Amino acid sequence: MKVAILGYGTVGSAVVKALIENEKIIKARCGQNIIPVIALARSVKKNSLIPVTQNADEILNRKDIDVFVELMGGVKEPFAIIKQLLKKKKNVVTANKAMLAYHRYELEKLASNLAFGYEASVAGAIPIIKVLKEGLSANHILNIKGILNGTSNYILTHMSQKGSDFKEVLKRAQELGYAEADPSFDIEGFDAAHKLLILASIAYGIRAVPEDILIEGISGISNEDVYFANEFGFTIKLLGVAKAQDSKVELRVHPTMLSKNEMIAKVDGVMNAVSIRGDMLGESLYYGAGAGGLATASAVISDLLDIARGQLKTPMFGFKSDMKYSLLPIEDIYTKYYLRLKVEDKIGVLSKITQMMSENSISIDSFLQKPKADETYSTLFFTTHHTFEKSIKNLIHTLKKQKFIKTSPFMMRIE
């Protein structure tokens, strides 16, 4: 089986290296050699293990290639290339979550009767696409909770374990290469959202794009939130959450307060994990490296092996006919909330806040007032019982207008 590598960066090089180094076991497992024959690169590569070109057409027009592996990144260009390849009836493997978040259903249509692998697009080395699409196929998926972004998890872990400040840890993550120079894609939840949308297509057949769902990042989390979480038995994680209730599915990405006892709360550092609850299987969890050249290559090559074994079947998301799931509007999300307020330390303030809460049908589960940070302001922490997203947004809107509120209220959801 001849393979072309489109995009010859960290992952592309790792795929080529592993196909060559693990050649024997790969052949033993699929009965044939999987040979990387050419790579498309942005610049000339010295000492490349295989021939490299900068001319896309030179590769795309080759008739002897069985599978094209897209590892270019970006959305527009790879989408155009993959469309072209599928129209020529070529098999494709991609790790491109951003492109799939926007264009996966157009690709699904074109990929009919072809092999289209995207295991590497979610949670790196964890074979979560295969698990969800095939391993748990007997189940109605009740919910998915994923730590899908290693950078954010690294930052939150260090904030929690060492009491460090967000900016300080981010800087350190950048120095260690765990965070990009511009980290917003990772820390503002977009990367996790792309992955969540792909999982939601397999679990529910939901056709949403990032703009349809709730996405919040971790940059607003302070040491005080970490303090509260530790005191009350919580851990803070950036989660991608998918939940089904009847025919409605809620999809959301946000920092979340989780009980320390949950398995997914125990996932630290740059590691990824996905917890999946099914109506038959109960709770399950899948844990591993979410990024890195070789780890991602492990997923890419498993797709190639599946193709060589004749096992990678369409439809792409495992649904031969549509399910009747639709997206729950954001304002109808119904969950528990955490609120941090900085208020003037004056008589009557707490009473005003609790009155506003009850006007929005929000009932308090726990309350903590921290010893004063300075002379005139106090920090108040609340957790609520279940309430609607629209109620909490309303409350925050009202609170913001109050004179006794020092800084903008900070809210987090609780699972």
Q: Does 181 interact with a second copy (rule: CB under 8 A)?
A: no
Q: CA 149, CA 321: separation in Å to the nearest integer?
A: 31
Which of 76, 88, 313, 372 is in the footprint of a second copy by CB under 8 A?
313
Longest dimension (CA), the chain: 79
Q: For a second copy, which is the closer residue by CB, 73 or 318?
A: 318
Token code pair at residue 174? 């950048």
* Least distance CB 405 / a second copy (angstroms): 40
Q: Does 260 interact with a second copy (rule: CB under 8 A)?
A: no
* Least distance CB 94 / a second copy (angstroms): 16
Q: CA 177, CA 20: separation in Å to the nearest integer?
A: 27
Quickly tell me which residue has 């922490």 as its tokens: 381
Q: For a second copy, which is the closer residue by CB, 123 or 357?
A: 123
Other C-beta atoms closer than 10 Å to the C-beta of 300 total: 27
Q: 194-223 mask for a second copy (x: CB under 8 A)? A: -----------x------------------
User: Per CB under 8 A, which region of 175-183, 272-280, 328-336, 379-387 contacts a second copy?
Assistant: 272-280
What's the number of CA atoms in the CB half-sphere (13 Å) around residue 153? 25
According to DSSP, the residues that pair with 340 across neighbouring strands are: 381, 410
Closest CA to 351 of 367, 374, 365, 336: 367
User: Per CB under 8 A, which region of 124-132, 248-256, 369-377, 380-388 contacts a second copy?
Assistant: 124-132
CA dihedral over 72, 289, 201, 217, signed as positive or negative: negative
* Least distance CB 115 / a second copy (angstroms): 12
Which of 16, 26, 339, 396 is in the footprint of a second copy by CB under 8 A?
26
Q: Does 322 interact with a second copy (rule: CB under 8 A)?
A: yes
Q: What does the H/E/C string look like for 316-374? A: CCCCCCCCCCEECCHHHCEEEEEEEEEEECCCCHHHHHHHHHHHCCCCEEEEEEECCCC
Q: Does 1 interact with a second copy (rule: CB under 8 A)?
A: no
Other C-beta atoms closer than 10 Å to the C-beta of 397 total: 11
Q: Is the peptide bond between 315 and the residue preceding it cis, with omega within 30 degrees of 0? A: yes
3-state helix, strand, coil split of the chain in percent (to 5) is 40, 25, 35
Catalytic residue flag (residue 403): no
Q: Does 102 interact with a second copy (rule: CB under 8 A)?
A: no
Q: CA 224, CA 312: separation in Å to the nearest integer?
A: 48
* Least distance CB 22 / a second copy (angstroms): 6
Q: Does 246 interact with a second copy (rule: CB under 8 A)?
A: no
* Least distance CB 265 / a second copy (angstroms): 10
* Least distance CB 310 / a second copy (angstroms): 7
Helix axes of 10-21 and 23-30: crossing angle, nearest 10 degrees: 70
Q: Does 348 interact with a second copy (rule: CB under 8 A)?
A: no
How big is the site for a second copy, counted in residues (CB under 8 A)?
61
User: Per CB under 8 A, which region of 232-240, 291-299, 335-343, 370-378 contacts a second copy?
Assistant: 291-299
Q: Does 139 interact with a second copy (rule: CB under 8 A)?
A: yes
- Catalytic residue of the set 145, 195, 237, 243: 195
Radius of gyration of the chain, Cα coordinates, nearest whole angstrom: 24
Q: 31-50 mask for a second copy (x: CB under 8 A)? A: x-------------------
Q: Using CB under 8 A, list all residues that contact a second copy.
A: 14, 18, 22, 25-31, 119, 124-127, 130-131, 134-140, 205, 263, 266-267, 278-289, 292, 294-295, 297-298, 300-302, 304-306, 309-311, 313, 318-323
What are the residue numbers of the active site? 195
